[in-house]
Amino acid sequence: MRLRLGLLLLGLLAAGGIAAPWVAAWLGQDPFAPDLFNRFAPASPANPLGTDDLGRDVLLRLLQGARVSLAVGLATALAATLLGTAIGLLAAWRGGLVDALLMRLADGMLALPALPVLVVLAAADTGRIGLPRGEPTSDILRIVAILSVFGWVGVARLARAAALSVLARDYVRAARALGAGEARVLARHVLPNIAGPVAIAAALTVAGAILAESTLSFLGLGIAPPAASWGNMLANAQDLVFSAPWVAVWPGLAILAAVAGCTLVADGLRR
């Protein structure tokens, strides 16, 4: 029930993001071109959700934002899951000093206030290493990279705990007794059996990444305009609370739906 509801929410958002160019063509509007004669237009057949402070169609920007936010969420979860599973497996398999060092590192990162650190990380100048700022693709890469710095921790802890219990099972001992190499034991026996907890951690990582991206974009440190992201659509909503309060509603609802969708999926997987 929860799993289905979550997948439905995410599916709708993903479908909207994929359909963005066709919706734009059908409405005959450009989500990036300002139209200053048409600012804050109310909802109408041409602009189903009205227009923003530069006269751009809100619905089209929401759909563009879905592409960016979901791409950031999924890419971060992919990177964090790969890295986290590898680290968790390594810690559980090697044990001893490696385990202690990796898990103390994870504890340390978990205790840190992530957002202030992310704010400092996001403000670093990537231009000096050849990633220009302000271009959508490099902005997305930059955000995914800095979110992965924190994202692996949750995955690694869950993967380690699950791998520890699997490594103590009889079938692992049996596989070793049959002469299976360690690589085979890890790949064929441990990895498939920790997929459940890792999937839950991955779903939660998507939720966290979408929230963090929107927060950084809201603060002006994430995806830079004119590219649309749900966070940066809200960036000037605060200045407009007196003149156009309705501008703030839709992007926030979109973030809420995406994050709640991921949380529901994680909850559903857990049961």
Partner 1 sequence: MIRLLAARLVQIAVTLALLSFAMFLLIGLMPGDPIDLALAGDPRLTAEDAARMRALHGLDQPLATRYLAWSGAVLRGEVGYSRLFAQPVAQIIGPALLSTLVLLGAAVAVSALVGLSLGALAAMRPRFAPFADAVAILGQSAPSFWLGILLIIVFAVTLGWLPAGGSAEEGGLAALPYLVLPVATLALANLAGYARHSAAELTQVLQAPWITAARARGAPEGRILVHHAAPNAAVPVLQVAALDAGSLVGGALITETLFARPGMGKLIYDAVMGNDTNLALVALLLVALVTMLATLAADLAQRALDPRLA
- Mark residues 218-257: x for contact with partner 1 by CB under 8 A, - for none: xxx----------x--x--xx--xx--x--xx-xx--xx-
Place of tokens 């070793």: 176
Q: Does residue 100 bind partner 1 (CB under 8 A)?
A: no
Asked whether position 117 contacts partner 1 by CB under 8 A, the answer is yes
Q: Which is nearer to partner 1, 136 or 252 (CB)?
A: 252
User: Do residues 111 and 123 lie in contact, with contact meaning Cβ atoms separated by under 8 Å?
Assistant: no
- For 106-135, b/e burial (b = at least 16 CB within 10 A) is beebeeeebeeebeebbeeebeeeeeeeee
Residues 170-229 that bind partner 1 (CB under 8 A): 207, 211, 214-215, 218-220
116 binds partner 1 (CB under 8 A): yes
Task: Work out how close the CB of 26 gets to partner 1 at its nearest, in angstroms, rounded to a whole number.
Answer: 29
Smallest distance from partner 1 to CB 245, Å: 5
Structure tokens at 87: 């680290």
CB 257 within 8 A of CB 8: no
> Contacts with partner 1: how many residues (CB under 8 A)?
45
For 65-76, letters b (16+ CB in 10 Å) and e give bbbbbbbbbbbb
Tokens representing residue 224 in the block = 């830079």
Q: Which residues bind partner 1 (CB under 8 A)?
A: 104, 107-117, 119-121, 123-125, 127-129, 207, 211, 214-215, 218-220, 231, 234, 237-238, 241-242, 245, 248-249, 251-252, 255-256, 259-260, 263-264
